[in-house]
Structure 1
Amino acid sequence: MAEQKRRGLLHVQMDIAPEHEDELNTWYWQEHLPERLAVPGFLSGRRFEIVDGGPPKYLAIYDLEDVSVLDSPEYQRLINPPDPRTKEIGRMLNTNIRRVYVEIPRLEA
């Protein structure tokens, strides 16, 4: 029997010094997000900025067709090793919290 797909979310919170925000934003929109969305199984990506409260300032949420996409060769090629620009941005981040969530199946009554 085939393993059931487990729809998921990749949730990333990040914070960066104000003097590096423009660099982060340019990298994210021009490089990072398009690379992720080119990976089969990444359905969408959205980015948010906090309204109230402290850091981390930014939140990125990626909808995943299945959480196993994070183990796929296509995704692993992006992160192991990361490209030089991604490494540079990573060193600038004050906070980088990455979590993976799996969808809880709805129980039918």
Structure 2
Amino acid sequence: MLAIWSTIAAESETDYMHWLTREHIFERVSVPGFRSGRVFKRRNSRPSEYMMLYELDNADVMSSPGYLERLNNPTPWTQRIMPTLEQFRRGGGSIVARGGNPAGHGGHISIARFEDALPDRLAAREGLELVKALAKVDWVVSAQIMSVKNDATAIATQEKSMRRSSEGEFAGLLLVESLDTGSLDRAIAQASESAGIEPDTFDSYDLVFVCHSR
């Protein structure tokens, strides 16, 4: 997966959303190795915070010639949008543990983002047991743990140079997808109880757009 966050001011939000849903996501998903792109909005965020979540064939796609070509040749619309993005974070890597069916997606997602390293309780067998248990919570679709591949996401590109804010980094993610918000709350409570992950580590988002490769 590749996960990207940014906030956008209200006066630029319509242009930003049109860019995402009329050009940018389609452009990205057309890159070889990209399977899908989804856009989520963080609940009750002010200014609005959006997250793009891409499913990839593998983590090496982030350093592939096709993807780097796009990053180094931004469209005119992308050139206009990039300087307006704030609190930008980008990181991708491999799924190290998965619970539930990866072919299905929910319209709601909660993500715990770990800045320095994945907690020990998310590593190896403990992590696998946790995501399998979370995926069994009523109305939860899936739970996954991603470990970031830093050398791929740190590559300098033309797009990166156009953003005014520095690009935030992180080490890994715990993602839980569900059919409604109440099931996310129950999964977060279970993750807190069984793995010691504080509930306020999670942020919750609602799906606003999805595009699949053909």
TM-score exceeds 0.5: yes
Q: Compute the displacement of 1:82 (Å).
A: 2.1
- CA deviation after TM superposition for structure 1 residue 73, in Å: 1.5
1:39 aligns to what?
Answer: 31
Query: Residue 14 of structure 1 aligns with which residue?
Result: 6
Distance 2:97 2:86 in 1: 35
Q: Deviations over 1:61-103 (max 9, x none)?
A: 0001111111222111110132332121010112211111311
Shift of 1:54: 5.5
Match of 2:89 among 85, 97, 100: 97
Q: CA deviation at 1:56?
A: 6.1
SS of 2:88 mapped into structure 1: strand
Deviation at 1:53, TM superposition (A): 5.2
Question: Which is further off, 73-82 or 48-57?
Answer: 48-57
Three-state SS of the structure 1 residue aligned to 2:96 is coil
Please give the per-residue CA displacement for 1:12-69, whole angstroms capped at 9, x wherever unaligned.
1110110000000000011110011111110111111111456661111000111111
Identity %: 34
3-state DSSP of counterpart to 2:74:
coil
Over aligned residues, Cα RMSD in angstroms? Answer: 2.0
- Checking the alignment, whether the CA contact within 8 Å between 1:42 and 1:64 is kept in structure 2 is yes
* TM-score relative to the length of structure 1: 0.80
Letter in 1 for 2:56: L
Q: Which of the residues 69, 79, 88 maps onto 2:71? A: 79
**Structure 1 residue runs without a partner (length 5+):** 1-8
**Residue 88 of structure 1 pairs with residue 80 of structure 2:** yes
- Which of the pair has more CA radius of gyration? 2
Q: Distance in 2 between matches of 1:69 and 1:27?
A: 23
